[in-house]
């Protein structure tokens, strides 16, 4: 990989960052001119107090439970409203309006500065294979019942595919189901379901060098999103069976098991491991977050990323290709899936305050982001919980994650929405670096091969 020095960042982005700070200063100047020095100092102190209360409210919301948690959230919401009312009562309606407009300008400038240049063109496309026996696994329970809602089984069978529904009182062995289909002559495999099931069958397709069809019938469908598929209407994914093209994408491996999105350790893996997570994801996260953010649970981890060792992180995220620089949880997008490297993020927070600072992106102390060909996660216990594409597993340590470049042949519709540009979040650390010239090394991934130069 190549390292691009901070000085090579386009000058326009640095001026956008400085413009954000100038707009904030002008907003303060408008209030200063209207209220005078003494009045402005009072207003600014009041605003600063409101900001402190808001931050404190968010802090206590994250680390508390029960009535205290919701009181803290109410405080965080009410504080800025009270400050706004006080400014209006001071007769500064016009000035406050102008100041708010300038803050909006500052946010727009900040986003323009933080927007990274898009990498190259989209992934190379290859001619679609001719198939005779397509075998599709469909989970009627995924995504709130999308398989039934969109009548996917009937539509797929009309196109000539064999469909196996994952239904019944007990769990279905998807691995055995797919392998039996291959033994019967299936020359295309596909899944309508969640990313965990997608990964399982994708591994079998890659093993037999078969094309793989992704049908976005799960809840979040991160893999489908990064392939440029329509997550709202999975019917469109079936168009690949009659007018498709092939993409060659990477596959992650964790102790021999395939993952298409990410594998997580520590805080997030502990949440996914909870029995209540599948039924109430948000409630489970809120319930477990206080203990996890304080480091009260979980084994002591050790992550090795191509020779670099991080000892004692609270969370480790290993992804099939790196996410954006400000995506600490793997909930966003990857601009492409054929880079041939893993993404690795470790978070080491020494205090709850530091953990909250990382979540707010007000600091990067304790945060390490790398790309690597291999990540090994060890622990002080023989087994640790791991979240693999949202599925809760227990794995023997050390856990080894590797990448298989362009191992999966994915069949996608020729006409599809495509991968939209990622919208940058307000990363205050990065904004300061851009505005004031601190050095920052950005990692550029190796260029993906063109269709003419890459082999099958």
Domain count within the chain? 3
The answer to whether residues 175 and 169 touch, using CB atoms and an 8 Å cutoff, is: no
**425 or 341, greater pLDDT:** 341
Residues 172 and 246 in one domain: yes
In a domain, 444, yes or no: no
**35 or 301, greater pLDDT:** 301
Structure tokens at 338: 């054929």
Residues 380 and 290 in one domain: yes
Domain end residue (candidates: 235, 253, 271): 253
Residues 135 and 208 in one domain: yes
Distance between CA atoms of 143 and 237, rounded to whole angstroms?
Answer: 15
**How high does pLDDT run on average in the chain?**
79
Distance between CA atoms of 282 and 298, rounded to whole angstroms?
Answer: 20
Domain CATH code at residue 161 = 3.40.50.10330
Distance between CA atoms of 35 and 29, rounded to whole angstroms?
Answer: 10
Structure tokens at 355: 């953990």
In a domain, 49, yes or no: yes
The answer to whether residues 196 and 222 touch, using CB atoms and an 8 Å cutoff, is: no
Ranges 27-31, 160-164, 389-393: which has the least confidence: 27-31
Confidence class of residue 454 from pLDDT cuts 50, 70 and 90? Answer: very low
In a domain, 432, yes or no: no
Which residues have C-beta within 8 Å of that of residue 369, sequence separation ≥ 6?
322, 325, 343, 344, 345
Residues 354 and 284 in one domain: yes
Q: Which of 409, 443, 376, 420 is nearest to 190 (CA)?
A: 409
Which residues have C-beta within 8 Å of that of residue 85, sequence separation ≥ 6?
none
Structure tokens at 289: 């977050």
- Full residue range of the structural domain in which residue 51 is found: 2-114
Residue 382 has pLDDT above 60, yes or no: yes
CA 38 to chain centre: 46
Summarize the confidence of residues 69-79 as an average pLDDT.
81
Summarize the confidence of residues 431-436 as an average pLDDT.
80
CA 176 to chain centre: 30
Domain end residue (candidates: 231, 253, 275): 253
Residues 294 and 379 in one domain: yes
């Amino acid at each position: 990989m190549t390292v691009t020095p901070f000085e090579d960042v386009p000058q326009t982005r640095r001026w956008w960052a400085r413009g954000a700070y100038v707009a904030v200063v002008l907003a303060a100047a408008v209030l200063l001119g209207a209220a005078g020095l003494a009045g402005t100092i009072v207003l600014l102190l009041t605003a600063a107090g409101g900001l402190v209360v808001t931050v404190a409210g968010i802090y206590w919301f994250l680390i508390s439970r029960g009535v205290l948690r919701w009181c803290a959230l109410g405080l965080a919401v009410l504080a800025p409203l009270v400050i706004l009312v006080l400014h209006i009562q001071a007769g500064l309606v016009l000035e406050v309006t102008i100041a708010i407009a300038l803050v909006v300008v500052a946010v727009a400038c900040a986003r323009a500065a933080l927007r990274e240049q898009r990498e190259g063109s989209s992934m190379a496309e290859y001619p679609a294979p001719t198939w005779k026996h397509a075998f599709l696994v469909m989970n009627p329970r995924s995504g709130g019942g999308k398989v039934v809602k969109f009548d996917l089984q009937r539509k797929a069978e009309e196109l000539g595919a064999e469909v196996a529904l994952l239904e019944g009182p007990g769990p279905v062995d998807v691995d055995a189901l797919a392998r039996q289909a291959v033994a019967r002559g299936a020359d295309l495999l596909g899944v309508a379901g969640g990313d965990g099931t997608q990964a399982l069958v994708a591994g079998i397709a890659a093993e037999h060098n078969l094309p793989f069809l992704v049908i976005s019938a799960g809840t979040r469908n991160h893999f489908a999103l990064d392939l440029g598929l329509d997550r709202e209407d999975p019917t469109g994914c079936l168009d690949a069976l009659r007018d498709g093209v092939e993409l060659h994408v990477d596959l992650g491996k964790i102790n021999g098991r395939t993952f298409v999105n990410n594998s997580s350790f520590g805080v997030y893996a502990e949440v996914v491991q909870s029995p209540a997570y599948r039924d109430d994801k948000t409630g489970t996260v809120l319930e477990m977050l206080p203990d996890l953010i304080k480091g009260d649970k979980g084994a002591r981890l050790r992550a090795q990323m191509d020779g670099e060792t991080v000892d004692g992180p609270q969370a480790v995220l290993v992804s099939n290709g790196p996410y954006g620089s400000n995506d600490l949880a793997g909930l966003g997008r990857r601009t492409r899936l054929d880079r041939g490297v893993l993404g690795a993020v470790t978070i080491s927070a020494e205090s709850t305050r530091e953990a909250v600072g990382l979540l707010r992106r007000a600091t990067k102390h304790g945060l390490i982001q790398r790309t690597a060909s291999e990540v090994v996660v060890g622990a002080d216990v023989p087994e640790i919980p791991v979240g693999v594409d949202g599925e809760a597993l227990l794995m023997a340590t050390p856990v080894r994650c590797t990448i298989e470049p362009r191992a999966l042949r994915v069949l996608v519709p020729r006409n599809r929405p495509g991968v939209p540009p990622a919208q940058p979040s307000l990363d205050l650390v990065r904004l300061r670096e851009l505005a004031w010239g601190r050095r920052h090394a950005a990692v550029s991934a190796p260029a993906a091969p063109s269709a003419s130069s890459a082999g099958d």
